[in-house]
Structure 1
Amino acid sequence: MTLTHIEARSAPTEHIAVRCVDSDVHPVPRRGVLIDYIPEPWRTKYFLSHPIGEQIYYDAPDYAHAYAMRTDTFPPDGEFAGTDPDLAFRQLVMDAGADICILEPLAPGARLADAAQASAIATNRWLDEHWLDGRNNWHQRWRGSITVAIEDPAGAAREIEQWAGHPYMSQILIKAEPRPSWGDPKYDPIWAAATKHDITVSCHLGRGKFETLPIPPVGFPSYNHDFMVSYSLLAANQVMSLIFDGVFDRFPTLRIVFVEHAFNWILPLMWRMDAIYDARKSWVDITRKPSDYVKDHIKFTTQPLDYPEDKTELLRAFEWMECEKILLFSSDYPHWTFDDPRWLVKHLPEHARDAVMWRNGVETYKLPTTVPVLEGQTRVF
C-alpha cells in the first residue's frame, strides 16, 4: 500500500519543493448536504421555501452532455463532478502534478444580501468539514477560501473574522457582479478585514442573479461566447474602480486576484489608463501610474488561456505585460475548460515559469514552499 491510498491518512515527514500551485479548483457539495449548514432563519425562510430550477445562463456547448465538466471527474457513485475529494486528489495532485490547490467553492447566490451571506456561511462550514479536515486533507494539498457575500459588507467582514487564522483558509472569495463597483467606500469593511489579517481577496467569475448579471451597454448577450467575454469587461471596470477610486491608497497592502476573467485585456487597459493618467494628473487623487498599481496589487489566473494560432504572439503578450509579475497558474478543475499544468508550463516564457507556476502563488496566498512527499506523484517540471 502506498500513500496514495485513501486509507493512508498520515502525511509523510519527508518534504519536497513546491513547483505547482493551482489557484482555481472547484469542490462541490454532495446533493442535499449544504442545506444543513445554512443558518436559520434563512434555511427555512428562503432556501427551503423557494424551489429553484435550472439557472444556467448561456452555458458551455457541452452543457447538455456533461454540465460543462470533464466527463472523467464524475465519481462512480453518481454524484456531481468535484464532490469526491479522493478522486480530485488522484486526478489533480497525483496525475497532473499540482502541489497545492486553492479550493474555490461557488456558493449558491441569492437575490437578498442576507440570504447570499447565509449561503456563504454554509459553504465555509461545509468546506471546513468535508475538504479541509484531517481525513480529506491528510496530504496537506488543499487550501480553502473564506466565501463571503460582497453585497453584505458588514456580514462579510464578520465571516472573515470568524475564519481568519484557520491553518488551511488561504484567501477570501467574492464575486464581481453586485453593484456598485468596488471603489465605493461601502466595501471598505471587507478590504479592512482582509488587510488586517493579511489575506488575499480573490474574485471568481460568477453567474449573477437578475439585474446583477453583467450587462454590456447594448443589453444582454445572446450566446455563451459573448456572455463569457462580458466577464472580462466586468473585471476591467473593477480594476479601474479599485485604482481610480483610491482603494489601494486607502489599503496599501490589499491583494486582489481575478479568477477566470481572462487576462490578455489587461495589457491595453494598462496602456490606456497610463495615458489618461499622464494627461490628467491634476484631476485625480492617485499617486502612481495605474499600471504600477496593477503590478503591485492585482493578479490574474491563466485559465482561460487565450491561445492564438501564432504562438509567438502569445509570447510577446506575456513579455509586454510582464506576466511573471501578474499571472498565477490555474487549471479550473473539474470543468471542461481544464488546463493541465504539464501542458500550460510549455507555453510560458522560460524565465517566467517558476513565477507563474508556483512562486506567485506561494507569495500571494502565503503558502509553504515545501509539501509532504507523495509516492508516485507526477512532477510538472
Structure 2
Amino acid sequence: MSQSSTLNNRHGKQLHKFGGSSLADPECYRRVVSILKDYSNEEDLIVVSAAGKTTNRLIEFLDALNKDGRIAHEHLQALRQFQIELVESLLTSEEAEGLVSQLHDEFSTLGELSYPLTDAERASVLGHGEVWSSRLLAALLRQSDLPAVAQDARAFLRAEFGTQPEVDRAKSYPLIKEVLAQHAHHRVVITGFMAQSECGETVLLGRNGSDYSATVIGALAEVSCVTIWSDVAGVYSADPRVVSDACLLPLLRLDEASELARLAAPVLHSRTLQPVAQSAMDLNLRCSYQPESGSTRIERVLASGAAQKSSLHSMKFCLLNWHLVQVTTLSVHRLKCLIVLSAHNWHR
C-alpha cells in the first residue's frame, strides 16, 4: 500500500500544515494541491503559513515605514506584485479577478499606514501573509474540483499578548466547533501563526507559531493526525550533509521527540509538541517536494511489543557541539547530543 493510501485510510479527520517554503511559488502551490488530492479527505483541515518570504517582506516594509517612506512604498509594491502574480499564475481570469481586487484594497490600506503603530496594529500587518495564502489555496482547490473554504483562525483561536502567547483552549474549543460546523463537506484552509485577543486584536503566536497553531487546532478539532509538510522529510539519524549513510527515522516516541526539541533541534519545537502530548493525535513530518520519500511519525506510545525499540536508540551518529561523534548507546533520558535534523530550519 502506498503512503498516500495509508494516510487516506486513517480513521477520522486529519490536519495538514504547509510552511512558507511549500508555498514559495506557483509550482509549489500546484504541488500542494496534488498532495491534498492524494493525501487528504473531505473535511480535512489545512493550516498555511505565508507564501515564501512574505512575512519577511512585511517586516521590511514596517521597518522602512519608520525611516524612509519611499523605501517602504517600494517594499510594499514589490510584495503586491508578488502576490498578484501568484494569483494570476494559478487561477483562471474569472477566479483571479475577485482575489486581485481584494489584494488591491488591502495593499491600499497598508499604504496609508504611518508610524507610530501599536503592537496590535503591527501584528495585524504581519498576519496578512497567512490570509493571502489561505485565500489563494482555497480558491485553487475549488478550481481543482476539491470543495474548500478559507478560514481566518482569529475567528476561533483566543490568546493574549505575551512573549510566547499560549492559545486559551477552553475559550477556543466551542468557537472552533461552531466554525467547523458551518463548513461541512469542505476542506478548510486556515491561517496559521495568529490568534485574537478578547478585545479583538491580532495576537501573533511567535517563533514556530504556525506549527504550534497547527497542532493546537488539530487538538481542538480532535483530529487523528497532524502532518507538517515542509522542505525536509523528517528526522534523520545524522546530518545528511556530513554522513553519507544517514537515514530517515520512521518512528519516534513523543518523549524522544520532546527531548530533541528541548535540545533545540531545528525541525522540532516544544510548543509544537505540547498539544500532541495533551491529545490522542499523532504527528507526521513529511517533505512537500518529495511526498513519497518517507516520513517521521511521532507517536505518544509505541505499538505493542516489549522487544520493539525506537529508531532513536539504534542510531550510531549524532552531533555534539556541531562536531560529529560516534556513540554506542543512546538513551532518551541521558541524551547529550543534538541530532541534526535537516539542512534547513523550519520558518514558523
Normalised to the residue count of structure 1, the TM-score between the two structures is: 0.28
Q: Which is bigger in relative contact order (C-alpha 8 A, separation at least 6)?
A: 1
Normalised to the residue count of structure 2, the TM-score between the two structures is: 0.30
